[in-house]
Amino acid sequence: MYRPHILSLLVVLAGAAQATPQYQIYDLGVARSGDTSSNGRGISSNGIVVGRTSGTGSSAMKWTSTGGTFPLANPTSPARAFCVGNGVNSSGNVAGSGATTIFGSSMLPIVWSSGVPTFLPLPAGEFSGTGWGINNAGVVVGSCNSGTDEKGLIWQNGAVSLLPPSAGGQTWLTGYAISGSGIVVGQGKDPAQPNSTIGMRHDLATGITASIGALTAFNHNSAIAHGVSEAGHIVGTSWRGGVGDFRPFIWTPAGGMVQVAPAGIGGGRALGVNSAGWVVGVTDDGQAFLFDGVSSYLMSSLIPAGTGWNFAAITNYWGAAGISEDGTITGTAVLNGTTRGYVAILQSPVSGTVNLLEYNPTQLGLPVSFEVRGLDNSLLQSGTVAIGAGGTITFNLLPSLRGQNGKVFVRASHWLRKQVYSGVFSPAGIQFGSVSLTNGDSNADNVIDLTDYTTIVVTFNAVPSSGNWDPSADLNGDGVVDLSDYTTLVTNFNLAGD
C-alpha cells in the first residue's frame, strides 16, 4: 500500500530538481511595409513559424531562423485581402484562410506552397471555410461553414472530404491539427449532449474516429482538442458546459486525459504540444504559459527582464500558440505597446565557475574557450566567452545537441584544457560546478614542456615595453616575466591537459 506513495514522492523530488527552462524572445516584426501589428499562430515540428502581418488588410507571414520574417502573397482571383496562416509543416507549406473583411467575410481555405497561394476546394453546397493544420505529408485539416453548421474537413491530394464520424454518431465541427503519422484532432458534437462540444481524434491509418472525453474528475463534459505532437500527444481545453472552469489538458493513448498543471491563475487553454510532452497555451487571463512535463510557468517568467514584452497587456487567445520539437515557441504578446508575434527560443545554458590558477590580476572579463565534443571526441560546438563576476562562465548549447551524449571542455590562453562535464546534454542545460585550470602552457598546445620553458627563458625579465615581451610568458599577469612565472612553470612541468 505504501509503494504508490513512495513513487509519487520520488516523482515530485525528481521534478523539483529539473531546472527552470530559460528562453530568449525575438520579435517577428511586421512583414509588409506600413503594417502595424503581427501574430504568431503556428509552428512546424522543425521550427518554422507562421502567422499574420496586419495593417491595411493582412497577409499570412512566415518566419524561419535563417530567412527571418517575410509575407506570403494574398490570392487575387478571387481577391482575398485579409489572409492568415494558421498551420505550417516542416517543408514550409502553410494552411490558412483568406477573407474579404477583417471580420472574416467570405472566408476561403488556402494553402501556400513555395509561397504561392492556392484555394482549397469545398464540399458541394459549401461556400466558406478555413485551413487550420497541415502535416509533413501535406495533408490539410480545417472546416467549412460556421457555428452549429460547421463541418470538419480533410484535404488529401487536392480532394476534400468530411472528417468521418465516430461509430457512436459524433461528428466533426473543426479539424485543428494533424500529425505526420495522420492523427487528426479537433472539436465535434455529440447527439447525446447537443449543447456542448467534444474533443475529437481521428487516425488516418485505422480510419477510426473517437471522442477523447473530458476531465471527468472536475465534472467536465466538454472539450476541444487543439494540438497534436508528432508522437501523438493531444492537448486542448476541457470544461463544464454552461459553467466554464476551463482547464488545459494533455491526452495520451496510454494515460487518457490529464489536467496540465496550472500556471498563474490556474485555468486556461492548451494550444500546442511537442513530442517531449511540453505544452503551451494561455491562462484564463490571457497570459502565455509553458508546461515542461513537470511544472507550468508563465512565459513572462522565462524570458530575461527588461525585454519590453508584456504578456498581460491584451486579452489574447494566442499568447503561446505552438511549440516545436526543440522547444521553440510562437505566439502573440505586446512589445513596447504594439501587438506582435514572437518566437521564443529555448536556451540550454552550460555554466560553471572557472578559476585561473596562479594569476594575480582580476580574471573578470578574461576570455575562456569552450569545446563541446561527442563521446568519440568529434568537435560539435566551440566558442569563447568572457569570465563574469565570481568567475562564472555561461554559453548556450546548440539546440541540435540537446539530449545527446558528450563532453564539455574549457581552457584559457596559457592554462591547460580541462574536461568539466561528461554525460547527457540536458535540454534545460548543464551546471558543471567549479573548475581550476593549470597555468604554464605558453604556446597553448595543451602540455607544459620544454617549449614553454624556452619561452620563459627567452623572455626572462621582459616587460610590456621590451622587444622580447610575450604576454603568454607572464604566467601570473603581473607585467614582468620573472622568477614567479618560472616557478609556476617548473611546478607544473610535464603536466598535460584533458
Would you tell me which residues interact with Ca ion (CB under 5 A)? 441, 443, 445, 452, 474, 476, 478, 485
Shorter beta-carbon distance to Ca ion: residue 326 or 485:
485
Shorter beta-carbon distance to Ca ion: residue 32 or 414:
414
CB of 416 to Ca ion, least distance (A): 9
Shorter beta-carbon distance to Ca ion: residue 292 or 441:
441
| Residue 386 burial by Cβ neighbours in a 10 Å radius (0-12, 13-18, 19+) | exposed
CB of 419 to Ca ion, least distance (A): 18
DSSP characters over 3-50: HHHHHHHHHHHHHHHSPPPEEEEEE---SSTT--EEEEEEE-TT--EE
CB of 352 to Ca ion, least distance (A): 24
DSSP characters over 110-159: EEEETTEEEEPP--TT---EEEEEE-TT--EEEEES-GGG-EEEEEETTE
Q: 182: phi > 0 → left, psi -120 to 50 → alpha, else beta; which? A: left
CB of 452 to Ca ion, least distance (A): 4
Contact yes or no for 253/284 (Cβ under 8 A): no
> What DSSP element (H or E) covers 488?
helix 483-491
What's the CA gap between 321 and 307, in Å, rounded?
A: 20
**Cα 302 from chain centre:** 12
Shorter beta-carbon distance to Ca ion: residue 445 or 498:
445
Q: Measure the N-to-C terminal CA separation of the chain; round to a whole number of Å.
A: 50
In angstroms, the Cα distances linking 468 to 413, 450, 453, 455 are 19, 18, 15, 10
Shorter beta-carbon distance to Ca ion: residue 230 or 441:
441
CB of 481 to Ca ion, least distance (A): 6
Shorter beta-carbon distance to Ca ion: residue 150 or 452:
452
Shorter beta-carbon distance to Ca ion: residue 27 or 441:
441
C-alpha cell at 458: 627567452
Contact yes or no for 50/88 (Cβ under 8 A): yes
The residues near 384 (Cβ < 8 Å, ≥ 6 apart) are: 367, 368, 369, 370
Residue matched to cell numbers 513537470: 294
DSSP 449: S
Shorter beta-carbon distance to Ca ion: residue 92 or 497:
497
CB of 8 to Ca ion, least distance (A): 55
Shorter beta-carbon distance to Ca ion: residue 39 or 476:
476
CB of 335 to Ca ion, least distance (A): 50
CB of 476 to Ca ion, least distance (A): 4
Contact yes or no for 392/432 (Cβ under 8 A): no
What's the CA gap between 69 and 32, in Å, rounded?
A: 10
CB of 451 to Ca ion, least distance (A): 5
CB of 386 to Ca ion, least distance (A): 22
Shorter beta-carbon distance to Ca ion: residue 380 or 462:
462
Shorter beta-carbon distance to Ca ion: residue 27 or 358:
358
CB of 445 to Ca ion, least distance (A): 4
In angstroms, the Cα distances linking 149 to 103, 174, 194, 239, 262 are 18, 11, 13, 22, 34
Burial pattern 93-117, b for ≥16 Cβ within 10 A else e, equals bbbbbbbbeeeeeebbbbbbeeeeb
Shorter beta-carbon distance to Ca ion: residue 91 or 413:
413
Before 78, cis peptide (omega within 30)?
yes
CB of 360 to Ca ion, least distance (A): 8
